[in-house]
Amino acid sequence: MLNSKIEKAINNQINAEIYSSYLYVSMGMYFESADMSGAAKWMNAQAQEELVHAEKFMNYVNERGGRVVLEAIEKPPVEWKSGLATFEAALDHERKVSSLINELVSLARSENDYMTDNFLQWFVSEQVEEEASAGEVVRKMRLAGESGGGRFMIDKELGLRVFTPPAALQE
Ligand code: FEO
């Protein structure tokens, strides 16, 4: 059974994961409007991944006999200054999510809830990947600078991303 503090904190995280999805959909729509369909596709895959994260938390709450309570999702930003600024915002966002996961781990440990601590370790590793993938695009976009050719190549590469739920997410 989950204690109420942990149940509330995971419910907040479910909201944060769904917000992340909403944010990436919004970033994808920005890229559509900027004729960067590859980056839009990347964001779409990222948005789907975030919903899988939310689902993973929801399944866990249910498994532990808790209650998932959905709250309103905040409106995400709709405009960014450039493609680079959008990915910088995505990287910033992932760093914030990593802090939230770290806080959850600290809470689980202070409450002696080692099952939740163990469950959260998947997200600790996932955040390494989340920060790395947004960071990689930021670095490439910085290198390409204002070059139209460079930006075209990056957009093409980003368009190769497809959403495939990792086996670990399908448990
Ligand atoms: Fe669900 Fe991008 O962290």
Alpha carbons 93 and 107: distance in angstroms, whole number: 21
Could you tell me the distance, in angstroms and rounded to a whole number, from the CA of residue 112 to the centre of ligand 1?
A: 25
Q: How many helices (H) and strands (E) does the chain have?
A: 5, 0
- The fold of 4-162 is Ferritin (1.20.1260)
In 3D space, the residue among 109, 134, 106 whose CA is nearest the CA of residue 50 turns out to be: 134
Tell whether ligand 1 has an atom less than 6 A from the beta carbon of residue 43.
Answer: no
pLDDT of res. 2 = 95
Looking at residue 168, its pLDDT comes to 52
Q: Residue 148 has what pLDDT?
A: 86
Atom of ligand 1 nearest to the CA of 94: 2
Percentage of residues in the chain having pLDDT higher than 90: 91
Atom index in ligand 1 nearest the CA of residue 126 equals: 3
Please tell me the pTM assigned to this model. Answer: 0.94
Q: Which residues of 117-136 are buried (b: 16+ CB within 10 A; e: fewer)?
A: bebbebbeebbeebbebbbe
* Average model confidence (pLDDT) across the chain: 95
Tell which atom from ligand 1 comes closest to the C-alpha of 130.
2
Size of the chain in residues: 171
Please give the average pLDDT of every successive group of 10 residues along the chain, which has 171 residues: 96 98 98 97 98 98 98 98 97 98 98 98 97 97 89 95 73 50
Instruction: Determine contact, residues 10/108, Cβ cutoff 8 Å.
Output: no
Over the stretch 30-78, which tens digit does the pLDDT of each residue have? Answer: 999 999 999 999 999 999 999 999 999 999 999 999 999 999 999 999 9
Q: How far is the CA of 97 from the centre of ligand 1 (A)?
A: 6
Q: Report which protein residue has its CA nearest ligand 1's atom 1.
A: 50
Residue that has been written with the tokens 């948005």 in this structure? 47
